Amino acid sequence: MKSYVTPEYIVERDQDRCIRCKVCVNQCSYDTHYYDEEDDILHSRNENCVNCQRCATFCPTQAITIRENPNHYRSNANWTQEAITSIKKQAETGGVVLTGMGCDKPNLTYWDRLLLNASQVTNPSIDPLREAMELRTYIGSKPDKLELEMEEGNGVVLKTKLAPQLQLETPIMFSAMSYGSISLNVHKSLARAASEAGTFYNTGEGGLEKSLYKYGDHVIVQVASGRFGVHPDYLDAGAAIEIKIGQGAKPGIGGHLPGEKVSEEISRTRMIPLGTDALSPAPQHDIYSIEDLRQLIYALKEATDYTKPVFVKIAAVHNSAAIASGIVRAGADAVVLDGVRGGTGAAPRIIRDNVGIPIEMALAAVDQRLRDEGIRNQASVIAAGGIKSSADVLKAIALGADAVYIATAALVSLGCTVCQKCYTGKCPWGIATTDLWLTKRINPDIGAKRLAGLLRGWSLEIMEMMGGMGINAIESVRGNRLLLRGVGLTDKELEILGVRMVGE
Amino acid sequence: MVLEDAINNARKNLILKKNVALIDATGMYYRDLNSLLRSLDGNGIEKIEICNVYGQRYIGTDLDDHLSIDIYGTPGNDLGAFMKGVNITVHGNVQDGCGNTMDHGRIVVHGRAGDLVGHSMRGGKIFIRDDAGYRVGIHMKEYLGKRPAIVIGGTAQDFLGEYMAGGVLVVLGTNMKDGSCHDARFVGTGMHGGTMYIRGGVRHLGEEVEVKELNEADYRILGSLVDEFCSYYGLDAEKILESKFSKLVPVSSRPYGNLYAY
Amino acid sequence: MKDLTKTNNPYGDEKVFDACSIFGMMNLKGERFSAKDPIRAIANMHDRGNGLGGGFAAYGIYPDYKDDYAFQIMYLDREAKKKTDRLLSECFNILSEEEMPTQEANVRDPPIMWRYFLQPKKSKTKSQADDDYILEKVMRINTETGKAFVFSSGKNMGVFKGVGFPEDVAEYFYLEEYKGYMWTCHGRFPTNTPGWWGGAHPFNILDWTVVHNGEISSYGINKRYLEMFGYKCTMQTDTEVMAYAFDLLMRRQGLSIEIVSKILAPPLWTEIKAMKPENELALRALRQTYGSLLMNGPFTIVVAHEGEMIGLTDRIKLRPLTAAEKGDYLFLSSEESAIRLVSPMLDRVWSPRGGEPVIGRLESRRAVEVIA
């Protein structure tokens, strides 16, 4: 059957600049470029190009330009380029159109319609470069009150025993990305950067590779529906355990790591046979109702002797507030909410773009609901799903999050250009692949530095914004909706966010 | 205001003896007091004594050089703010903002001071006999020949010399036991100019500060300030200078150079 | 409730700001003295206020009714008084009631103000503690009509406040004729609510009074945290949130003032790290548990309740506070000169560090500055 789908991108090469070094040929993993020896000229197969920008970045003379194919179908607000192309692909394959990363459709981001405050006259701003600005955050269950005693000669002494807490030096953690969806070198980079920055990285559902156990104090191990690599040592290795019920990119469905991507290392770490598909079922088959969740949470706590906080991660959906309340009452130490913009290594595009709700709304609703029920202290709330800047982080905290998870942003700092082709396993940046030739392209030394740099840059920006508001401790931002104002939002949106209109 | 009018208005509060004015500030609103001072100033009065001062603000502001004022009581905030050349002696404690953005002149306090002593000072000298509060010498600056100086006899609190850009700040800790530490935290945070001489240890320094040993030139400067300090309070300069002093200077004049991504 | 909130905050600001002057004076032996000196002191700090609010809290002023709850209520109209009187007779034994004695003074549009001495009706309290009963009834009165406001409801103490400079408000209430062992005073510089007498400080709940100088930037979350424990922040002021925080932490949870200071103005993480391990654990737990009550932003507060006067500033001391002692007297003031006016000779003068409370207690003879 001849395909009626035309190339998405056109590669333009400035032949005057091109020095025939063939870096583009070497770097492209999609086999787009090729060298014609006879004519001593580089050519490109446009139909293979995915606009990952690897060749353009590495071309020493900036000779390459990737352009969106100007051959567009007639402009149509309903029958968009994407809609038409998807239909043709489905007709030709009878399959589900896959994609990677997070929902790219417009009008689903509220961060950009929320604005922060600054202090003037009635309250001095604080300069974080010179005065203390505290970002330290503790994730875990907190009591409503403490029993304390003043002891002769000893001062204040604590009588209450607190539930286990994670100590974060900055309220940003690396979100779950499984080993298998991304490479080991990226995991190494994440683990090292998290350790250096005093925060945490999440293993995702692919287990924890042996060489990373030494970073255990900065690792959150995930227990997902496939239970890959989950054994007692694994549970003991990390500082916290996260039960994955769902993720923002594909709420309600399972996952699939194709057999081709299950290399020897993956097989070992996930504890499944080489070359078999790694299937994550849609539900966790031992959680069909809220009491089952409670059972699993306590099973994990027992397995680790109550020394580690247990998180539960859900995708942000319509009844997130009620579910979150259930999760807290089931004994979780933290609720993780992953919004519609959350990323993935592979998901059906139709689900990624149409299922789930924006994190901002879910977060606001969950935080308020937990407060209304008087149980907000019992669990921390962590927000995730397309957080792209330090302002998003601070706004998330002001809406009520204790901390945020970032994943796409972390990968972008390592080189990712969000081309959305992760599911092919051919990531030329060496990130979303297990191909050993490609994974070499991430050097963990440099990767760790880049990730640490991202955390540092964002943390400094957060401190500046806080100082501008006359606040020197993150606890005073957390849940403080008065620091936000909405612009271009309806009354109802403002009501759910619990935020006033600009000008009010 | 013409001197005659000033005298008439302040009749019950003012006595003139040759070129000395004696003012009883009881019940005087600060505006009236300062207005009186200004009118006396322009008219050949060289020395003023004010007693029963309870919280009147801005005393010493907008008066000329060569005027000498003795204050008995507790002057209010911003004593000598923007001052240009007056010589003030306070027989009592001062409140917040003493010497705020002072240009030149001298303030001698026989007692303690509140917060913000010498804030943004650009010249002149301030001497505090006892302790001072928070943010002493914050953003002191110097330019060409003008170098401000502050000497605190006791100890000072957090953010001492914050954001200092010039001048000399001395803390003597005379009421501290030998070898003990000043309590202040964030000393010299944001410092990018100027020098501090501290007698006694410092518990917590800002990141922008370096500790150095004093050299001959330092001892000359310090010695002269300590001598002057002791002369006002009848203390033993030699004994004070015997102890160990640390010199605090900025690490760089561009402390935030590598902060930004371009 | 809506009405009162609107009255206190007619422009619907997220919060009502003010900046001000504070003064406190206590006789540590419990000997009662007249308001004359506190009034002189607060009047001396005239320029810190703008004449749109002044107030006093006095303790030990009703010795003849010392075990009875002294309700002082302002009414915006007669209907409100009728309704409230009905509620009061339903819930309380009224031992005495009268319109508060006042005289002409330079104050703006005073409301009708009545004073009642009450005891809860035993048949109505059931298993509720008296204090909780009072609190509940006060909240009811304050929210039921929207035109009645209980501005004082403790035993053997009273709040006197209104719209005018504090010295004028004092004159209005014949304040010099009262004698108490502890006085706190406040001069206000608000940016709205010109006519509303209830907005002045001190803010009162049971026998707690708070006078406050500064602005709390963490207000949004402090308020939401307290709302989880049943408090309704109708006044939308920092002072209200302070008072509820004290009520929650000291009265309901039984924590000492030393610990409460470490919740409202906690030490930095770097300082906590340098402490002894037992203290480090305790201080860390306090911040983890009560982080939403950390009061960020500049503040000086003087909190009083029976037998105790407490002065506290924010942890980086953005607002002034001077403490002094002379004989049996403890003074707290925004400016030292106000203390000197009242007592030119002082035994000791000092400024407490940011986050460290100054506590005057009736039992002890010396004022205590607590250092961790």
- Enumerate the residues of chain C whose CB falls inside 8 A of the CB of residue A123: 214-215, 217, 297-298
The number of angstroms, rounded, from the C-alpha of B153 to the middle of its chain's C-alpha atoms is: 11
| Partner residue facing A148 (CB), from C221, C229, C255 | C255
Helices (H) then strands (E): counts for chain A: 15, 23
Distance to chain B for C172, nearest Cα, Å: 22
- Helix (H, G, I), strand (E, B), or coil: what is residue A495? helix
d(CA A135, CA A455): 12
Give C-chain residues touching B27 at CB under 8 angstroms: none
Distance CA B54, CA B75 (A): 6
Q: How far is B89 from B107, CA to CA, in rounded Å?
A: 6
Q: What is the pLDDT of residues B185-211, one digit of tens each?
A: 999 998 989 999 999 889 889 888 999
Min Cα separation C228/chain A (Å): 5
Size of interface B-C (CB pairs under 8 A): 56
**pLDDT confidence of residue C371:** 40
**Alpha-carbon gap, residue B30 to B52, rounded angstroms:** 12
Specify whether the CB–CB gap between C31 and C215 falls below 8 A: no
State the smallest CA–CA distance between residue B214 and chain A in angstroms. Answer: 26
- Measured between CA atoms, the residue of chain A closest to residue B188 is A130
Name the 3-class secondary structure at A335. Answer: strand
Is A134 in the B-facing interface, judged by CB distances under 8 Å?
no
Give contacts of A460 with chain B, Cβ < 8 Å: 259
What pLDDT, on the 0 to 100 scale, is given for residue A320?
A: 93
Phi, psi of A400, rounded to the nearest 5 degrees? 140, -5
Lowest mean pLDDT among A453-457, B7-11, C31-35, C267-271: B7-11
Of A394-398, B37-41, B188-192, C87-91, the range with the lowest mean pLDDT is B37-41
C218 to A469: CB separation less than 8 angstroms, yes or no: no
Q: Do domains A9-95 and A175-454 have the same CATH topology?
A: no
CB contact at 8 A, C321 and C351: yes
Identify residue C3 by its one-letter amino acid code: D
**Residue among B55, B112, B185 minimizing CB distance to C338:** B55
pLDDT bracket for residue C1 (50, 70, 90) = very low
The nearest CA of chain B is from the CA of C335 a distance in Å of 7
Beta bridge partners of B197: B170, B247
Report how far residue C161's alpha carbon sits from residue B104's, in angstroms, rounded to the nearest whole number.
45
Q: CB of C274 within 8 Å of any CB in chain A?
A: no
For the packed helices C257-264 and C238-246, what is the interaxial angle rounded to 10 degrees? 140
Q: Do B190 and A129 touch (CB under 8 A)?
A: yes
Find where tokens 């505290």 sit.
Answer: A134
**Residues of B with Cβ-Cβ distance to A130 under 8 angstroms:** 162-163, 186, 189-190, 206, 208
Q: Residue holding tokens 């010099």?
A: C176
Task: Give the pLDDT confidence of C15-44 residue by residue, as tens digits.
Answer: 665 568 999 999 999 999 999 999 999 999
Alpha-helix residue ranges (DSSP H) falling in A435-499: 436-439, 444-468, 491-497
pLDDT tens per residue, range A134-186: 999 999 999 999 999 888 888 889 999 999 999 999 999 999 999 999 999 99
Nearest to C158 by CA among C89, C207, C216, C228: C207
Q: Kindly identify which residue of chain B lies nearest to residue C344, measuring between CA atoms.
A: B73
Q: What is the pLDDT of residue C15?
A: 66
CB contact under 8 Å between B159 and A457, yes or no, is: no
Burial of B249 (0-12, 13-18, 19+ CB in 10 A): middle
With CA atoms as reference, report the closest residue to A348 among A178, A103, A175, A177: A103
CA–CA gap between residue A238 and residue C100 (Å, rounded): 67
Average pLDDT over every residue of A55-81:
95
Q: Determine the topology of domain A9-95 in CATH.
A: Alpha-Beta Plaits (3.30.70)
Chain A: closest CA distance from residue B234 (Å): 37
B256 touches chain A (CB under 8 A): yes
- The 10s digit of each residue's pLDDT in C297-342 is 889 999 999 999 999 999 999 899 999 999 999 999 999 999 999 9
How do strand C179-180 and strand B201-202 relate by DSSP bridges?
A: unpaired
* Contact assessment for residue C346 and residue B109, using Cβ atoms and an 8 Å cutoff: no
Residues of B whose CB is below 8 A from C335: 55, 76-77, 95
| SS3 category, A240 | strand
Of A123, A158, A472, the CB nearest to C285: A158
User: Does residue C315 belong to the interface with chain B, where contact is any CB pair within 8 Å?
Assistant: no
- Domain range summary for chain A, segments of one domain joined by +: 9-95, 175-454
Measure the CA angle with vertex C219, ends A122 and B116; round to 5°. 40
- Cβ atoms of C157 and C44 within 8 Å: the answer is no
What subunits make at least 3 CB pairs under 8 angstroms with B? A, C
Cβ B131 vs Cβ B112: under 8 Å: yes
| Chain C positions in Cβ-Cβ contact with residue A155 (cut-off 8 Å) | 275-276, 278-279, 282, 372
What are the C-alpha distances in Å from C291 to residues A478, B134, B191, C12? 9, 25, 31, 27
C340 and chain B in contact, CB less than 8 A: yes
> What is the C-alpha separation between A13 and A8, in angstroms, rounded?
17
Residue found under tokens 């403790």:
C154
In a domain, C9, yes or no: no
Mean of pLDDT values over A8-23: 96
Give A-chain residues touching C261 at CB under 8 angstroms. none
Report yes or no: B61 and B69 within 8 Å, Cβ to Cβ: no
DSSP state of A6: P
Active-site option among C20, C91, C185, C233? C20
Is the pLDDT confidence value at C365 over 50?
no
CA dihedral A241, A243, A246, A248 (to 10 degrees): -20
Q: Which residues of C touch A131 (CB under 8 A)?
A: 316
Contacts of B92 in chain C (CB under 8 A): 340
Using the structure block, give the residue that is written with the tokens 């159109």: A97
Beta-carbon count within 10 A of A7 CB: 15
- Which residue among B189, B259, B261 places its CB closest to the CB of A130? B189
Q: Which residues 6+ apart lie within 8 Å of A180 measured at CB?
A: A206, A257, A261, A262, A266, A270, A278, A345, A434
- CB neighbours of residue A22 within 10 Å: 13
- Degrees (nearest 5) of the Cα angle A468, A471, A475? 135
Give the model's pLDDT for residue C2.
47
**Residues 180..199 of B with a Cβ closer than 8 Å to C: which?**
183, 185
Q: Do A472 and C259 touch (CB under 8 A)?
A: no
**Is C91 annotated in the active site?**
no
* CATH code of the domain containing C300: 3.60.20.10
Tell which residue, A273, C60, C349, B1, has the closest CA to residue B14: B1
d(CA C222, CA C212): 16
Predicted pLDDT of residue C127: 84
How confident is residue C6, by pLDDT bands cut at 50, 70 and 90? low
Helix (H) and strand (E) counts for chain B?
A: 4, 14
C-contacting residues in A 373-412 (Cβ below 8 Å):
374, 376-377
Closest-CA distance of chain A to residue C269, Å = 8
**What does the pLDDT read at residue C273?**
94
Query: Which of helix, strand or coil describes residue B151?
Result: strand
Whether residue C202 is preceded by a cis peptide bond, meaning omega within 30 degrees of 0, is yes
Cα separations in angstroms, A99 against A11, A408, C250 = 22, 14, 57
Around Cβ C364, how many Cβ atoms within 10 Å?
A: 10
Subunits that touch chain C (at least 3 Cβ pairs < 8 angstroms)? A, B
* ∠ Cα A240 A243 A248 (to 5°): 115
Residues 129-158 of C with CB under 8 A from A: none
- Number of structural domains (chain C) is 1
* Residues of chain C found within 8 Å of residue A130, distances taken between Cβ atoms: none
* pLDDT mean over A295-321: 93
Please state, in angstroms and as integers, the Cα–Cα distance from residue A92 to each residue in A1, A80, A95, A351, following that order: 7, 19, 8, 20
- The Cβ of residue C129 has, within 10 Å, a number of other Cβ atoms equal to 10
Eight-class DSSP state of C296: -
Judged against a pLDDT cut of 50, whether residue B86 lies above it is answered with yes
* pLDDT for res C314: 92
Query: Rounded distance, CA B181 to CA A322, Å?
Result: 56
**Rounded CA separation C172/C18 (Å):** 22
At C192 the pLDDT is 54
Residues 6+ apart with CB under 8 A from A12: A64, A65, A66, A67
Q: How many angstroms separate the CA of residue A356 from the nearest CA in chain B?
A: 35
Contact A130 B256 (CB under 8 A): no
Domain span at residue C65 reads 18-361
Assess whether pLDDT exceeds 60 at residue A477: yes
**Domain spanning A175-454: CATH superfamily:** Aldolase class I (3.20.20.70)
Contact criterion met (CB < 8 Å) for C340 and B74: yes
Percent of chain A whose pLDDT exceeds 90: 80
A contact residues 199-258, partner C, Cβ 8 Å cutoff: none
**Interface predicted TM-score (ipTM):** 0.89
Do residues A113 and A488 lie in contact, with contact meaning Cβ atoms separated by under 8 Å? yes
Eight-state DSSP code of residue C311 = E
Kindly indicate the confidence band of residue C10, based on its pLDDT and cuts at 50, 70 and 90.
low
